[in-house]
Structure 1
Amino acid sequence: MFNRFQRFYTSIKVAADVVMLTLAFALAYVSRFEGPIPVFYGLPAVEETLLSLATVLIVFPVTYRQARLYATNRARTHIGEVFEVFKATIMATLIVVALTYFTRERYSRLMLAFFAGYSFVGVSAVRLVLRAVLNEVRRRGFNLKSILVIGAGELGQRVIETVEGHKELGFRVEGVLTLRPEKVGLQVQGVPVVGHIKDVDAVLDARPVDQVIIAVPLEEQAAVKPLMEQLALRTVDVKVVPDLYQYVTLYGGLEEFGGLPIISLQGDPMTGWNMVAKRVFDILFALVAIAVSAPIMLAVALAVRLTSRGPLLYAQERMGMDGETFHILKFRTMRVDAEVTGAMMASKDDPRRTPIGTFLRKYSLDELPQFFNVLMGDMSLVGPRPERPVFIEEFKKQIPRYHLRHKVKAGITGWAQINGLRGQTSIQKRIEYDLYYIENWSLLMDLKILIRTALGGFLSKNAY
């Protein structure tokens, strides 16, 4: 039943692609030869146009097939689907260009460029509509793939919760096999435990199962080898959920090193082009911010000079990316002898503040010189707020995963700050927000945080 439906769905995708490719070809022809763009060599012959259409209707679907766009991949996201269509469109276009170059003397490169754009948009739109329709069908309980989970422990429970939480993917857990005989006959997350792990052959013979997911804890891995030998004799799909994922902390996942699969437990969130993009973003916005705030900084500097003795700026050691220290710049809001007895965190109604210091700290005007820290590369516009090294060692002992906030550059503002976590608020909660930012970072998120900061995100009752 499932295979018949899958073949039917695949045929629908192929037919839809052919229709959209034909429509894209017609639109490209009209755009090139019947639009405002001058035509210098006359219209192409009908035979030549039909030959071009036949070429794309052969090359593009074949390329889509090679890109596995007709294969079942329920875990692929909408964005992933569009990106695969984009890559296949580029490849197919290059193949058409090569074939046309070697077989014909003249062809319209501009028309081909129009066609590539139209086909990408059209095919992507149809794929997204088909996925939306199919997701709704699956939510209603149709076209489901059955799963047998091996492992009734915590890892198996997480698998079942994940499947139940994503019904649009079209999976249904039929049963669970356990390593502990006493659990047979019980339920895990509402799913029956149908047998012991040794009963896998009997269970697969009795039940129509499309996929087996092995979710066995590390201490029970000895049972996996004979199980895999049994499953190797069957055509059922087999997936393994590694128990190592309990140790994944930040940007971990499956990687490949020279063809060797490796599970990364901890990685860098911003590498390659992500790092370049964030740095360019920081420089451009910092330059604009300095230009806009220059009159304010001049006024603050004058106020600091007139209300207290000492330097205008205060350079304090902070810890940034990869644990390296730098000196953060701030307008001075404390007396020169504020820390003569040792390092102390600021507190509400702190007696060490200068006459203008309370006002500057309340509205975060003392932070304005940090735009120069951004230009120098010590900081980013958005990121976890940097702490003083003298306090960090104690935080590391008290708060798990505290050190992970140093995987990125410290920021002038951050996700925690715009949510009111400033001053002497919970360090634990602040770290949770910082790690959420790191794990979900994007330039769009940075822009949203900056906008919320500009609209009053720093006007917190906890700022002092």
Structure 2
Amino acid sequence: MTPTSPSMWNPRTRRGFRYLYVVDAVTLFALMVAITVVRFGLDWPTYPWNHYLIGFAVATLLHMVVYYFGGLYEFEQRLGHRPWLPRAMLLTFMAVGGDATVTLLTGRYLMPRANLVVLAVAGAVLISFNRWGARRVRLLRAGKPRVLLSGTPADIDSAEEHLADAEPDAVVAGRLDDPSLIIPEADRLGATELLLLSGQPLETIYPEPLGELEARDIGVFRRITPADTLLGLQRSRQIGGMPFVALREHALPVCRLRFKRLLDLAYLALLAPFALPITGAVAAYVRIVGGRGVLYRQERVGRGGVPFVLLKFRTMARDAELNGPVLAVSSDPRVVRGMDWLRRTRLDELPQLWNVLNGTMSLVGPRPERPQFVSRLEREIAGYGRRHDVPPGITGLAQTQGHYQTDPGYKLGHDLQYVVNWSPVLDWQIMAKSLVVMARRNAR
């Protein structure tokens, strides 16, 4: 096995990168103690020392949570890494704000107030230093990055010159002009990074062999062309003085997906006092108007392409799909009389709050489709499967911008825009607009 083989430094099997959890926690706790000792010596004011030590432990835990969900523990490729200090500074200031919030809510000072100012600055610097140290340790243990260059001979020659000048820690392991040979060449050469240099179509790398390369922790970067910059591309990385964008099989890292899940549970707790009585009232209406069979269960495709059972109030006749699945259309004749307003206002989706609670759905995300339609759309529309990177939602960007009859290709554009740009603020905007859309459709 070569010293740079991916299995030598795989965060899924080794703990080298995960030791940062312990290192950061010890660093933060020790920093809080050091700041207090420098300011007051061993005679700490107001409270006994054990009060402050408990406060330091709580503050350390809060900081670690913020760092985790902020992405500081996601595996990073060694080439084109972004500067740590700006990210660490932003997250540390957020965590310090959390420390202050705990004090306001509980009346318990986790540390002397002036310490927070020093902690915000010194903490960010030390957390960034820890990552610099981890990078150096990783270089010593795993060896230099081994780069496989793919493109035209002229582009490869130019890239080799740039790497030799600006990336002394990188080794050019090989050259490749046939994308179909990426996997065997990467294995043969023990490559840790792949640079796509000549504007190869994304279809040559996505979804495969990108997924297989990512599973082996081989970083994949595509050089940004002048035409790409005209589209407003902003998230670039500099490798050897050349602009690249990192390609990933999935748009959101695990930490952000978990953060989204926690937000969903928090929103459900806030919505429950209002949603439960409304759901009960709608269920009674459906029972009276439509008869037995209030709930309708249907198989849909969820995150990662895994099927799940979606719940909704039944608004169509029981034999609506006697001849097989049919996409819904505007003014669908299969809808039971008196139920159309439930579909217009999306109130028929209320039972999906249970899907959100059990984790098969999210409040906001791409609407889940049926397996029969997904298999066809994946064949017809390139990149359709990327919408399954996040859990499907009760509402989504495509629902606030379009209608039932909106072309699937246009819907996919909205869905992918949501997946790539997800943030809590974007979810708030979509939820607020969904309420406006529901009110407008109910007024018709």
Shorter-chain TM band: 0.5 to 0.7
The question of 1:276 aligning with 2:258 is answered yes
Q: CA deviation at 1:450?
A: 2.5
Instruction: Show the counterpart of 1:346.
Output: 328
Distance across 1 between alignment mates of 2:270 and 2:114: 40
Using a 3 Å threshold, how does the CA distance of structure 1 residues 319 and 82 change in structure 2: closer, same or farther? same
Deviation by residue 1:357-390 (Cα, 9 ceiling, x = unmatched):
1110111110000001111222111111001112
Cα distance in 1 for residues equivalent to 2:86 and 2:331: 51
**Aligned to 1:262, which of 219, 222, 227?**
219
Is 1:438 matched up with 2:419? yes
Amino acid at match of 1:219: T
- TM-score normalized by structure 1? 0.51
CA distance change for structure 1 residues 340 and 38 in 2, over 3 Å: closer, same or farther? closer
How far, CA to CA, are the matches of 1:85 and 1:376 in structure 2? 32
What is aligned with 2:293?
Answer: 311
Kindly name which structure, 1 or 2, has the bigger radius of gyration based on alpha carbons: 1
In the alignment, which residue of structure 2 is the partner of 1:242? Answer: 196
Q: CA deviation at 1:351?
A: 1.7
Aligned twin of 1:80: 87
- 1:390 aligned residue (346, 351, 372): 372
Change (3 A) 1:326 1:83: same
Deviations 1:170-218 (A, max 9, x none): xxxxxxxxxxxxxxxxxxxxxxxxxxxxxxxxxxxxxxxxxxxxxx961
- Aligned residues of 1:329 and 1:370 also touching (Cα < 8 A): yes
Residue among 408, 415, 421 paired with 1:427:
408
Distance 1:360 1:38, change over 3 A: closer
Secondary structure in 2 matching 1:424: coil
**Conserved 8 A contact 1:334-1:354:** yes
Instruction: Name the SS of the counterpart of 2:368 in structure 1.
Output: coil
Using the TM superposition, give the Cα deviation of residue 290 of structure 1 relative to its aligned residue in structure 2, in angstroms. Answer: 3.6
Q: Which amino acid aligns with 1:356?
A: G
Determine whether 1:218 maps to 2:151.
Answer: yes
State the AA in 1 paired with 2:429. Answer: K
Task: Tell me which amino acid in the other structure corresponds to 1:119.
Answer: V
Tell me if 1:417 matches 2:399: yes
Residue 411 of structure 1: CA displacement?
0.8
The sequence identity of aligned pairs, in percent, is: 31
**Distance in 1 between the 2:289 and 2:162 partners?**
79
Q: 1:273 to 1:85 in 2, by over 3 A?
A: closer
Conserved in 2, the CA contact under 8 Å of 1:317 and 1:389? Answer: yes
Q: Distance in 2 between matches of 1:218 and 1:461?
A: 52
SS in 2 for 1:429: helix
Tell me the residue number matched to 1:169. Answer: none
The SS at the match of 1:377 is coil
Residue correspondences, number: 290
Q: Distance in 1 between matches of 2:303 and 2:91?
A: 34
1:221 Cα offset (Å): 6.3
CA RMSD of aligned residues (A): 4.6
Q: Residue 304 of structure 1 contacts residue 356 of structure 1 at CA under 8 Å; is this kept in 2?
A: no
Query: How does the TM-score come out when normalised to structure 2?
Result: 0.53
Q: What corresponds to 1:451 in structure 2?
A: 432
Q: Does structure 2 conserve the Cα–Cα contact (< 8 Å) formed by 1:317 and 1:328?
A: yes
Instruction: Kindly report which structure 2 residues correspond to 1:55-74, keeping only aligned pairs within 5 A, or say none.
Output: none
Q: Structure 1: any 5+ residue segments left out of the alignment?
A: 1-24, 41-72, 90-109, 126-215
CA 1:236–1:407 in structure 2 vs 1: closer, same or farther (change >3 Å)? closer
> SS state of the match for residue 399, structure 2?
helix
| Aligned partner of residue 386 in structure 1, secondary structure | coil
1:299 is matched with which residue? 281
SS of 1:118's equivalent in the other structure is: helix
Distance 1:256 1:115, change over 3 A: farther
Partner of 2:118 in structure 1?
119
Residue 322 of structure 1 contacts residue 406 of structure 1 at CA under 8 Å; is this kept in 2?
yes
The one-letter code matched in structure 1 to 2:316 is M
SS at the partner of 2:152? helix
Contact residue 314 and residue 329 of structure 1 kept, 8 A = yes
1:463 to 1:391, Cα distance in 2 relative to 1, 3 A: farther
What is the CA distance between 1:352 and its match in structure 2? 1.4
Q: Which has the higher contact order (CA 8 A, sep 6+)?
A: 2
| Residues in 1 aligned to 2:397 and 2:339: alpha-carbon distance in whole angstroms | 25
